[in-house]
Chains A and B, each alone.
Chain A
């Protein structure tokens, strides 16, 4: 039995220790916003936050996450500035990759409040978008990054983990 926190709630799972976190989140706890794309950590559709940092849940066995804090797209509770920017910039097409894109981008802004164009590209290139919405993803991230200090505050990695998740 493994205990960890999912979107701020302590939970336990009886799944086999080698089961990827992705399937536990989706099928045991019913949070379907995190998606399955490749299963080999190369598309980013399954990205969640592990103690505040983006990880590929398809390749993270739950045996390795005991007592960790896991946050999924649902855990952003529609409050993250990136989510608003995603709507403003009309980013999603099919939308399937976008939970992962947003979680990855949130990870970027949590450690780098004002990334350069190259830094955005380098950080986001592990996330495939088959609909090729890259130009809009980039614009939306830039938009949030150039907003007020408040955003920087939320993403200050030195603050307690609760806040670094980007949920105010």
Chain B
């Protein structure tokens, strides 16, 4: 993941262009390749020729309106608002003049990915610098117009101000011929504004994308209309890999009004195998025809795989101490195990989980003037653009992905696999095609969160001192399936691993002996395409780590918070590094200490009720968001049903750039955590997920809403991500609370009432 991030923030090493274009002022990063060499004709010429990197760029028109163009996907995190506020704050802009626009991909543009809570984290410094460069230029031009010294000027409310004199940005833009290039080094000189002088960052604000989402005008991928388009629906084959179409009988489909035939897809990119799409002049016609058509297959080898088969393989792999890739190897856990007087072994499992984005996946594709135009909402255009190109046999510069609002991302739309059948169908029929998956199609084609098995072992010596912990985690690996080039080597260089399927196991507790193995479940890998799902690795590794920490604490008869604090000494590698993880484990200790007070930890509660604690450190060690969660639950001793009364969340994500957005994201992610803890889980049955719609798959709804008490540590440290970290600690906090309420230790997600009942001491 480290490599991925470096690639995507490389524009921090680019030069920055500011120039008058038309009647406005345009500011943008130079292209990544040979940034300095290509700048030959001055900034204005570059900019008007659109020879810049459009990761983010902004314009000021001669009325002073500021348009911030954002290449990141808007899927509910209001990322455009956060980014625009960073820029606007540095510029000294009047926020009411700022608008955002989400832009399309073009292969010559920068790397486009929105995931892993990275957006604000990655853009904070470069956007601050870009805004500061813009301010500098506006001040220089404004000072000239005012006839004052630039050093005496500041900007505020979209004005350049010098004492009692001022001139608006609009007037500067109108009358200035501006042409400036800041080299990467010059740009690096700009330090983000000090917290005290910020006018927008960390202040309350309304998100710019919200009004359109209250009146039906926000445009999502599914809303796209292309002239003369045909509607299509896929017939999803019985296995994800290896299905071959043997025959199609569409005699019943022909009775559907508006039916326009079917296509058997042949995919040179090999993303899909054995696919048929059904066409009609209305979507409902395509749905009906899809139900009526009969397709015969030679099925792939995983046609009979069950969830239990995958779990069994995971259990065997996790148990085998030689399996997997070493990700953490501290001390000598083998020796610790040998010398141990007592030990504890626990196995944790999680079920397959669906993304279930509210908007089923879809794409509309049109071939026009030798260019393949793909219209859809997507989080990682750069990953699938080359795949689309390969599928349709065109070069990458002939594919454009047009971006829309995403009706939910959660990691599902990091994969762009749904573009492929749409593109192939449009190419085959020679007409624009809008392919929409029904909910059932969407579930069967989902890149689910893989079922997982984790084995944890703890060892104590004769003096009851904890010697160390061993952790093996087996699952299907999304990165192996979709972006294998991003897999790093293990610490012993003997093999690679998916960093997204183990992050969180490399936690901030100090242990003398600690080993972590990341293990690929090969049966999972064969049966489906494992996906990234909100909070990704820590979303399930945290389940094992934080449940087990509680088990270890209880075995030692120590309060679970005291126990955790004793290991959060911020020594060695857990000391943290400036600026991103400054303070290290100390910041975790702080949230833990604070939440203990806040929740009146240790209070006596009515029978069958309990509090449980868990902590999390966000997505990755090099972008930690420090968090703690306390769950207050009540267990029905007759049925094992769990009611969550309250979730308290305390997060330290450094500077909170967009406070209300941060709160909204955390409300959402904590409720996701609760939904995954108690309500969501499906199972593979005959090679596919068995739950494909809401009649049997039941995410949390309003009647399950607990009281939420969410707060953020107030500091001015480097801002880290927030879209996902709130999720991580919730499930283990609930499980630990169940244990404190009724003495039942549950180790499987989701936590089912039967499992609670079975685990209750009689």
The interface of chain A, by Cβ under 8 A from chain B, is: 15-16, 19-20, 23, 26-27, 30-40, 42-43, 45, 72-74, 76, 78, 83, 86-87, 90-99, 102, 120-122, 124-138
Contact = CB atoms under 8 A, between A and B. Distances in A.
A42 B695 contact: yes
19 contacts: A27-B282, A32-B216, A35-B222, A37-B358, A39-B438, A40-B439, A83-B214, A87-B211, A90-B660, A93-B665, A94-B75, A95-B210, A130-B358, A131-B358, A134-B705, A135-B667, A136-B664, A136-B667, A138-B702
Contacts of A93: 75-78, 664-665, 668
B284 A90 contact: no
Contact of B701 (A26, A36, A78, A125): A125
A87 B406 CA distance: 19
B717 interface: no
A23 B284 contact: yes
Contact of B209 (A37, A39, A40, A95): A95
Contacts of B211: 87
A75 B393 CA distance: 45
The 5 closest A-B pairs by CB, nearest first: A33-B216, A95-B213, A93-B76, A96-B407, A94-B76
Interface string B210-229: 11111111111011010000
Nearest to A102: B214
Interface string B410-441: 10000000000000000000000000101100
Contacts of B231: 27
Contact of A95 (B218, B410, B671, B700): B218
B671 A37 contact: no
A35 B702 contact: no
B394 interface: no
B504 interface: no
Contacts of A98: 213-214
Given A90-B206, A131-B668, A132-B671, A42 B694 contact: yes
A128 B667 CA distance: 15
Interface in B191-217: 206-207, 209-217
A57 to B, nearest CB: 12
Q: Interface range on chain B: under 10, 10 to 19, 20 to 34, or 35 or more? A: 35 or more
Nearest to A133: B668
A25 B695 CA distance: 25
Contacts of A87: 206, 210-211, 214
B569 interface: no
Contacts of B357: 94, 96, 130
Contact of B694 (A23, A43, A95, A134): A43
B694 A94 contact: no
A47 B409 CA distance: 22
A132 B210 CA distance: 16
B76 A131 contact: yes
B358 A96 contact: yes
Given A37-B358, A40-B693, A133-B664, A92 B210 contact: yes
B215 A83 contact: yes
A73 B211 CA distance: 13
B702 A121 contact: yes
B123 interface: no
Nearest to B206: A90
B232 to A, nearest CB: 13
Interface string B222-248: 110100000100000000000000000
A135 B439 contact: no
B672 A132 contact: yes
Contacts of A125: 701-703
A124 to B, nearest CB: 5
B581 interface: no
A86 B93 CA distance: 27
B31 interface: no
B358 A128 contact: yes
A78 B212 CA distance: 10
Contacts of A126: 701
A20 B284 contact: yes
A73 B667 CA distance: 26
A99 to B, nearest CB: 5
Interface of B: 75-78, 206-207, 209-220, 222-223, 225, 231, 257, 282-284, 287, 356-360, 405-410, 436, 438-439, 660-661, 664-665, 667-668, 671-672, 675, 693-695, 699-703, 705, 708
B257 A16 contact: yes
A74 to B, nearest CB: 5
Nearest to A23: B284
Given A90-B660, A124-B702, A132-B675, A45 B358 contact: yes
Contacts of B438: 39
A48 B283 CA distance: 19
Given A32-B223, A40-B695, A74 B284 contact: no
A35 B217 CA distance: 11
Nearest to A123: B702
B219 A32 contact: yes
A96 B220 contact: yes
A48 to B, nearest CB: 11
Given A27-B282, A38-B693, 10 more contacts: A32-B219, A33-B217, A35-B359, A42-B695, A87-B206, A92-B209, A93-B665, A125-B702, A130-B410, A138-B705
A96 B359 contact: yes
B213 A90 contact: no
Contacts of B257: 16
A5 to B, nearest CB: 18
B702 A90 contact: no
A40 B667 contact: no
A78 B700 CA distance: 29
Given A34-B216, A122-B703, A137-B702, A94 B408 contact: yes
Given A38-B693, A73-B215, A90 B668 contact: no
Interface centre among A87, A93, A99, A128 (most CB of B within 10 A): A93
Nearest to B440: A39
A138 B704 CA distance: 13
A148 to B, nearest CB: 21
A35 B357 CA distance: 13
A94 B77 CA distance: 7
Given A32-B223, A90-B207, A136-B667, A42 B358 contact: no
Contacts of A38: 439, 693-694
A134 B407 contact: no
Given A133-B667, A134-B705, A94 B358 contact: yes
Contact of B282 (A23, A42, A138): A23
A138 B702 CA distance: 8
Nearest to B362: A36
Contacts of A15: 282, 284
